[in-house]
Every structure is written in structure tokens, then in C-alpha cells.
């Protein structure tokens, strides 16, 4: 069997160009994967917020929640829009809180109830003896 001889010779310049092309392809692949992960996180975040609000009776759609996440204005009841903003802010702060810390509980309440109740972030004073 005859040994194959390609119709070209490999030079240092050719090898350098092939290495640069391979490096660029690798970078593009990583960027595409990161973009997919970011989209997936955004979709999951939107679904989590929309689902949490729906439990409380909100009528906001997934498209409306997505628009709010993107910083756009939507046509919806102001209370529901405020609830959505509060939920988004709360989910963003979630990793900073300790579940057993009472001041973290009040911080969470403040974020969730801002613009909805007057005593957001405080314990109730009514009924205290």
C-alpha cells in the first residue's frame, strides 16, 4: 500500500492559523452555551415569578412578566405590576438571606410588600398587649 502524501506542505504559518481558527471556534461555542444558559435562567425566573404571583391571584401573563423583567412598561393593574416588581426584587435578594434570621424575614417582607401595605418590613403592632 502506497503512503499518502498531501498536495501541500505544513508550515508554521499554516499551523498558527489553524490554531487561531480552532481557538475562535472554541470561544464561539462557549459564548453560545452561555447565551443558552442565560435564556434558560431568564425563562425559569419568569415562570417562577409568574407562578408565585398566580398563586396569589395575579392575572399577569408570562409575556407580561418577561416584559417587566426586561424593564418594559405593561398595561395591567398597578397593584399587580407592583407585586411583580417586588417578587423580582425578592428573588434577586434571596441568596443574601438566612431563613432563621428575623431581620432577614423583615427585609424579605419589606421587598415583597413595598408599595402594597403601609407597614412593610415591620412586625404588626395591632393586638400586642
- 128: pLDDT strictly greater than 80: no
Between CA 117 and CA 129 the distance in angstroms is: 23
Model confidence over 29-56: pLDDT tens digits? 999 998 888 888 888 888 888 999 999 8
Cell of 8: 501541500
**Residue 4: enclosing H or E segment and its boundaries?**
none
Reported pTM: 0.66
Number of neighbouring beta carbons within 10 Å of residue 76: 16
Model confidence over 71-100: pLDDT tens digits? 999 999 999 999 999 999 999 898 999 989
Between CA 129 and CA 127 the distance in angstroms is: 6
Reported as half-sphere exposure (CB side, CA atoms, 13 A), residue 113 has a value of: 13
Amino acid at each position: 500500500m502506497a503512503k499518502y502524501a498531501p498536495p501541500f506542505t505544513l508550515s508554521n504559518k499554516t499551523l498558527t492559523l489553524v490554531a487561531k481558527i480552532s481557538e475562535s471556534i472554541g470561544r464561539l461555542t462557549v459564548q453560545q452555551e452561555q447565551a443558552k444558559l442565560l435564556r434558560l435562567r431568564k425563562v425559569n425566573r419568569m415562570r417562577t415569578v409568574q407562578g408565585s404571583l398566580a398563586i396569589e391571584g395575579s392575572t399577569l401573563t408570562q409575556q407580561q412578566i418577561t416584559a417587566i423583567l426586561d424593564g418594559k412598561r405593561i398595561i395591567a393593574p398597578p397593584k399587580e405590576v407592583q407585586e411583580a416588581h417586588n417578587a423580582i426584587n425578592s428573588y434577586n435578594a434571596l441568596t443574601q438571606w438566612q431563613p432563621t434570621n428575623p431581620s432577614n424575614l423583615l427585609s424579605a417582607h419589606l421587598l415583597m410588600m413595598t408599595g402594597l401595605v403601609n407597614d412593610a418590613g415591620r412586625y404588626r403592632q395591632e393586638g400586642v398587649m
